[in-house]
């Protein structure tokens, strides 16, 4: 008895395109200044808690000093969480794909193949310019993350230019293939163009 073979991907006819570069352009977390908004928010929460403690103490309501001291610490858990989520988010950018690893307790990794990218954008707000940050946005056909933002990575302008070129190379050399589940006339799998 002849069992049906599972579909196997074949390269497009006439294609001898080399695979994309696996050179690592960047690997690691973003700069902490990219999370400045979270740090400032929780720092202000602590400052407001401290101001509230001073106001309560000035009315002499008889609240123990240690309780008032706790109000200064109200933003500390938020600061800690912002820090932990920041350092647990890591990026790996190569000439083929961008992998984003995130999660504090459980980890997940998302991968964006560069041939799926339609456009690469770069911008810097005034605050980004002051802090030496930049934002690279990749608009793609990826289902899980169609607009991937890379904010606060070191050497952001150089990385943007390398990514732009890598996307062009990937779109020219990597052609997506679809499989037909039925065998063709000669027993080989057919490919949709």
**Can you tell me the distance from the alpha carbon of 22 to that of 26, in angstroms, rounded to the nearest whole number?**
11
Determine the structural domain holding residue 62 and report its residue range.
Answer: 24-172
Number of domains present in the structure of the chain: 1
| pLDDT for position 5 | 65
In a domain, 17, yes or no: no
| pLDDT for position 124 | 95
CA 86 to chain centre: 11
Would you call 56 exposed, middle or buried from its count of C-beta atoms within 10 A (0-12, 13-18, 19+)?
middle
In a domain, 58, yes or no: yes
| pLDDT for position 6 | 62
Confidence tier at 67 by pLDDT (50, 70, 90): confident
In a domain, 152, yes or no: yes
In a domain, 165, yes or no: yes
| pLDDT for position 65 | 72
Of 5-9, 12-16, 169-173, least confident by mean pLDDT is 12-16
CATH assignment at residue 141: 2.30.29.30
**Can you tell me the distance from the alpha carbon of 176 to that of 12, in angstroms, rounded to the nearest whole number?**
9
């Amino acid at each position: 008895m002849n069992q049906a073979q599972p579909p196997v991907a074949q390269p497009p006819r006439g294609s001898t395109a080399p695979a994309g570069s696996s050179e690592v352009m960047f690997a690691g977390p973003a700069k902490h200044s990219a999370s400045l908004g979270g740090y400032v928010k929780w720092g202000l929460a602590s400052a407001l808690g401290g101001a509230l403690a001073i106001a309560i103490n000035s009315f002499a309501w008889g609240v123990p000093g240690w309780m008032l001291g706790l109000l200064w610490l109200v933003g500390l858990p938020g600061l800690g969480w912002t820090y932990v989520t920041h350092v647990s988010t890591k990026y790996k950018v190569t000439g083929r794909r961008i992998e984003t690893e995130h999660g504090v307790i459980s980890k997940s990794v998302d991968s964006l193949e560069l041939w799926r990218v339609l456009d690469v954008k770069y911008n810097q707000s005034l605050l980004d310019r002051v802090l030496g940050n930049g934002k690279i946005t990749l608009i793609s056909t990826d289902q899980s993350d169609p607009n991937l933002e890379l904010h606060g990575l070191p050497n952001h302008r150089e990385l943007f230019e390398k990514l732009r070129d890598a996307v062009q190379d990937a779109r020219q050399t990597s052609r997506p293939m679809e499989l037909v589940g039925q065998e063709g006339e000669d027993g080989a799998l057919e490919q949709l163009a």
